[in-house]
Structure 1
Amino acid sequence: MTAVASAMGLAAVIACAGPGPAAADPVHDFYLPPAQFDPARGAVIKTVDTAVYPAQPTDNGRWPIPAKQVMYTTRTEDEVPVAATGIFIDTDQPWHGSGPRPTIIIAPGTTGQGDQCAMSLAFATGVYASVTPPTLSVNQEALAASAWNSLGARVFVTDYIGMGTPGIHTYVNRIEEAHAVLDGARAANALSGSGADTPLAFWGYSQGGGATAAAAEMQAGYAPELNLKGTWAGAPTADLTEILRQVDGVLISGVTGFAVNGVLARHPDLQPQLDARTTPAGKALLRELADECIADVILRHPFMRSADITVDHRPISDHLREIPEVVDILDRLRIGALTPTSPVFITSGRNDDTVPYGQARQLATDWCGHGATVTFRTNDLPPILPRTTIPNHFGPELIDGYGTNNAIGYLVDRLNGIPSAGCAFD
């Protein structure tokens, strides 16, 4: 999510507001999976044609850009087949690199936890908004999708598990996010008819950076047939223990609730222990956050401190570290224990006030210790209005993705067959 995207979304609320996702209409019915579907990983369950308006016209003047909403099969952390959704944007423009046309799999940054926050809902117009109930979700990946598509690459953007489709979105669950990315790549290959040899690159920042990092290290074991050439993991959410500690009290600190809700969705036996540690207002807030998008969090719960919702007024991260089962879960969700077999570009802001710099650098160190090929680049943007997230966390996304750190250039080099050897830190 960028400040530009947020401003665009806020300005468009009145113009684009429509009925909430509870309304019975074909747009939202798409997200209901059939009673039975192909359980194969990456199987395409159904598609519907759509168009992307917040994108530059093609070289031949085509606009809006044709696309497909896609439902495909992926797996939960327990290997249960489940439906997920996304957006696929093909292209007939020439690929500006060398070799075959690639597909870029985009893992979105934090959009929220409510079904209406599914990125594919906002993709067509750039924003999804509703007055009853009031909610707002912005297409924060429009810039990346448009940039890659204009280079002649296919683009697939996943919604993740439980976003739009039934069930709770398991926010920053590295296993389920990796599955959604890797199976999204399989679905994209099937839709394009280009096959498993299709050159792929993974692109993600923040939650998306964690998802692509997890997918990169799990690819060899989960989807070895994929031809992954490189990954950008910007500000990756690699260590949830460190992130939950730092994010408390920042502009978007409500994401702590997303994480707690996601853990409880897969481990409901922990509910009594969490209930004993949270106030009635805290329990109500967690339920409310489960249906909110990140813009709703900013508007309704800015700078939330979790100590205000615990019975002893200590941060909820302190409580989580005192529950052995939760400690085990957070350790299992930490990225860095496996080894990517293709090059990875990690970027992080030294003054990021939301996703800690240290845990991102540690991820690079861990992978390098395993023999992976990693380039780690520090963004030295000075601190601007600390704890306000947008300048210090989202600001580096533009610099690292499209500016001087140039993640696009890094991935194009990998797609062009230019090697990236060893480990490099700066």
Structure 2
Amino acid sequence: MYRFLENFETGIPFIDNGHRRLLEDMEEAREALAAGHEDDYHRLSGQILATMHDHIVKQHVYEEEIMTMSRDGELADQKEAHTHFREVIDQHKSSMNFQNDHEELTSLLNFLNEWFLQHILSSDMLIGSALRKAKAAAVEAKARAAKEARAAEAAHAEEAAKTREAADEVAKEGQATTAADGDVKAGSGEEEPALQPTEAFAAPAKKVTKKRAAAKKQASVATPAAESGKDEAPAAKAAEPAEKVKKNVEGKPTEKKAAAPASAAEPAAKATAPKTAKPTTTVIKAKKAPADPFAFTDEFHTQIPLVDKEHETLFNLVRQTYELVHDEFRVDKFDDIIEIIEELRDYTIKHFADEERYMKSINYDGLPEQVAAHTAFVEKLNNIDFDEIDRDQEDALDKLIKFLLNWLVQHILKVDKKMPYIEEAASKLME
């Protein structure tokens, strides 16, 4: 029975709808085979191949575009899997005839079942994160463009301000030149208005002089010659203030002149004196350590003790495989790699058997899908090409480890965690 379960969802409606349509065709073909409707075999094979071709034209292109935008490192592997999908379609198209319709339809269903349980659950699940990366990259690019635009606008405004300042300087120089020309003309007597104030102030000065002269005449007539000595004394006294003034002119002003530069220099000194910088404390933030992809964290817990314990062991076995592959101090490690992969396969078979036993004991509705998924995963482990691993150990095993880890993560989060916890059944499982 082929149903579009939650564990098949990538979170992208366009991709999920394409997967759903494939599963619907697969279920129709399965029912026809189960009922022995031979007349429908050829039609259903053609229908599935058409759906698969449409799947390639639309969905695979879309998936690759998303991964390209997000610069996803898995793009090359995704393209390789899509190429294999296309090759299967071409092979079935060329071999279709009315004599082997049953074999063709059965073969197509087996391939698609494996495709769903391996490629979709291990690779397509990552498309959702790739789309989020692509959107984040688009937002970052937009923000960067806005920042550059603001910087360009600020630079333009600064340049405009400099241009205005230069224009103002030119205008000021022009005004100064015009004023200087006016002063030259005034000094030469060309303009009469400049002379009128001088004449106006000169007239009262002449009147004062006549009065003083008349007063002196009267004083000289009325005052005897003996009093002329008295006039000399006031004159001497009048001269004393002049001397004091002279001393003040020679003394105090010079002190002021000497003091003035010092007082004027004080603000300048204050302005130029460097401020004492306050000691700054440099805060060094600790960098977050990258997430451990092999860590069995709380998010993977199903609350079923034995299942969780076995899942943790599987994570550790995948980690050991990775560490063995990347151990630079071990030269010939091919035999060790085969040994740990076989240990991983055997333990996986045991774990799946325990899970299925628990699901049977609680009459779990999702058991058929779980069995199909387990079977496909074990087949993947059984079909490992050790010759390919021997030719290029690191690359071939990195691909295998990536598949194992992705499949395990997606299967636990989207399938195993749906299993309800029944205390009695979980306790018996531990016996």
TM-score grouping bracket, smaller chain normalisation: under 0.3
TM-score normalized with structure 1 length: 0.24
Larger Cα-atom Rg? 2
Normalised by the length of structure 2, the TM-score is 0.24
> Which protein has the bigger helix share?
2
Q: Which has the higher strand share?
A: 1
**Higher RCO, Cα 8 Å, sep 6+:** 2
